[in-house]
Amino acid sequence: MKLRQPIEPEQKALEINLDESVYGTFAEIGAGQEVARHFFQVGAAAGTIAKTMSAYDKVYSDKIYGVEPTGRYVCESRLYKMLDHEYGLLEDRLGPLKTSTRFFAFADTVSAINYSKTSQGHGWMGMRFQLDPQGHPNDVVLHVKMKDKDNSLQQQAIGILGVNLVYACFYYHHDPEQFITSLVDNLRERIEVDMIRMTGPELDHIDNRLLSLMLVKNGLSKVAMFDAKGHNIHASEYLYKQHVLVVRGSFRPATLVNQDMLKVGYRQFVRETEVDVSKTRLLCEITLDNLRSGGEINEKDFLDRAELLCGMDQVTLISDCEEHHKLIAYFSDYRILNLGLVVGVKILLNTINQKFEEHKDGDLLAAFGELFTKNVKLYIYPSIMDATGELLTSENLPIPEGVKFLYRHLLDNRQLVDIEDFNSKILAIYSKDVLKKIKDQDGSWEKMVPASVARMIKEQSLFGFSGNRVELVNRDISQN
């Protein structure tokens, strides 16, 4: 991607206004009409704006867009109702009259920081737009978190972000990464964009899972996620007031061990007395550090992992939270009822040693307090000691002397628990060994991964697999 100088919002708004083919509506709820204001202030708005509105009163808003079953107005479903309504009016009223026009409907529903500063501002924003007159429209929808500590500054940031989004839809739609980085033009460090979704006839070539990666890689968010169908989703809609279990791993590729961690970890999590199985979410997490383990992030490698996890019907989290406490802090914004992290025992040992080294001359208790809050529990998956072949669990870890008392406290209070009912026969399987066997065309790798994973790797030539497709099909038939 070429380096691009940020463009001022006034210049972007003026360029849109001077494009005679672009015409549309601005509908804004909750933080004034900050986006439309930019287009009015730079001049020549009459050729761009068909209507602006702000249904600030809830009764008026319900009469126009319908009632939200959840009672929430700053939500994804509200945004789509706004886009449906406003774009529909454009087509009905102006479609027959402006046949050479590219229509758009911009909408946002935003809650800025309140007077007492007890709630941080956030909102949903979207565009429905044509790239060709009379063509089918495309949608871009995003979620934003505002970081300014002042209401007026947050409104200002929403105005700039809205201009950036409108401009990107018409000028950067062909380059997803440039599209995403342009959203924070003149806003770096003031907002986070932690979900974006692009759909439509001119955007169907874009893999939305890559958009999630791009958000995190380019620093727009610490976390992004997508579901088993590859659709980008947001934590406020998916995780709010849920019991959440996260399995951390490389999944490069997903092995029998990963499958076992998911199965037995989840089974143990839902057996906890405080966990309501009807309100649980299971996530697989891949960190940026893990994606960079081989150097620069390889998008093909990422998509190979994503393809397998989607094929295993898993929701995937991408994060820039290598340290466990950073991931825990992210989830705290969504009132998670109980949070479980499934980690390998060697990862736990590394974490304990790192915390001890960083804080042995300081406040060690506070350092561990960041990680082990009252509703957080770590589920420890065992491993085999390389030298002796002995089973390694949380109970026999070689913990530094200075942290043993605190570590024992965590075990006794069941904030650290060993996973039970694991498959002891597969503990010697490691993703790095499977990956090497695939690249070396050593067929023994197939016994180290779930059958569905082996099938996907072969059929889609994932992770550098290059076997003879006809021979593989015949082999599968003969085995069945």
**What pLDDT digit, counting tens, does each position of 326-345 carry?**
888 888 888 899 999 999 99
Model pLDDT, residue 362 = 61
Alpha-carbon distances of 342 from 235, 301, 313, 378, rounded to whole Å: 19, 23, 18, 6
Greatest pairwise CA separation for the chain in angstroms: 80
Instruction: Go through the chain and tell me how many residues it has.
Output: 480
Residue 263's contacts (CB-CB under 8 Å, 6 or more residues apart) are: none
pLDDT of residue 469: 46
What mean pLDDT is predicted for residues 357-383?
78
State which amino acid sits at residue 206: I
Of the listed ranges 13-22, 427-436, 443-452, 467-476, the least confidently predicted one is: 467-476
Asked whether the predicted pLDDT for residue 480 surpasses 70, the reply is no
Query: Tokens standing for 462?
Result: 């994932």
Whether the pLDDT of residue 478 is over 50: the answer is no
Q: In the structure encoding, which two tokens stand for residue 69, read together?
A: 């079953």
pLDDT reported for residue 479: 46
Closest CA to 53 of 25, 32, 79, 27: 27
The pLDDT assigned to 31 comes to: 75
**Can you give the three-state secondary structure of 260-323, one letter per residue?**
HHHHHHHHHHHCCCCCCHHHEEEEEEEEHHHHCCCCCCCHHHHHHHHHHHHHCCCEEEEECCCC
Structure confidence at residue 475 as a pLDDT band (50, 70, 90):
very low
State both tokens at 234: 């947001």
Q: 56 or 394, which is more confident?
A: 394
pLDDT tens digits for 29-47? 987 789 999 999 999 999 9
pLDDT of residue 373: 74
Of the chain, the percentage scoring pLDDT greater than 70 comes to: 94
Summarize the confidence of residues 3-19 as an average pLDDT.
Answer: 93
- pLDDT-derived band of residue 472, with 50, 70 and 90 as boundaries? very low
φ, ψ (nearest 5 deg) of residue 48: -120, -35
Contact 433, 463 (CB under 8 A): no
Predicted pLDDT of residue 2: 57
Q: Say if CB 303 and CB 297 are below 8 A apart.
A: no
Task: Write down the pLDDT at residue 471.
Answer: 46
Task: Name which of 229, 133, 214 is nearest 176 in CA terms.
Answer: 214
Q: Would you state the structure tokens that stand for residue 343, as one six-digit string? A: 């980690």
**Residues near 117 by Cβ (< 8 Å), separated by ≥ 6?**
149
Question: What is the C-alpha separation between 460 and 443, in angstroms, rounded?
Answer: 16
pLDDT at 110: 95
pLDDT of residue 367: 66
* Cis peptide preceding 253, ω within 30 of 0: yes
Which of 232-246, 297-311, 466-480 has the least mean pLDDT?
466-480
Is it the case that residue 473 has pLDDT exceeding 50? Answer: no
403-456 confidence digits (pLDDT tens)? 888 889 889 989 999 999 999 999 999 999 999 999 999 999 999 999 999 999
pLDDT digits (tens, 9 = 90+) for 247-294: 999 999 999 999 999 999 999 999 999 999 999 999 999 999 999 987
Return mean pLDDT, the chain.
92
Instruction: Tell me the residue type at 130.
Output: Q
- Asked if 342 contacts 248 with a C-beta cutoff of 8 angstroms, the reply is yes
pLDDT in tens, 185-207: 999 999 999 999 999 999 999 99
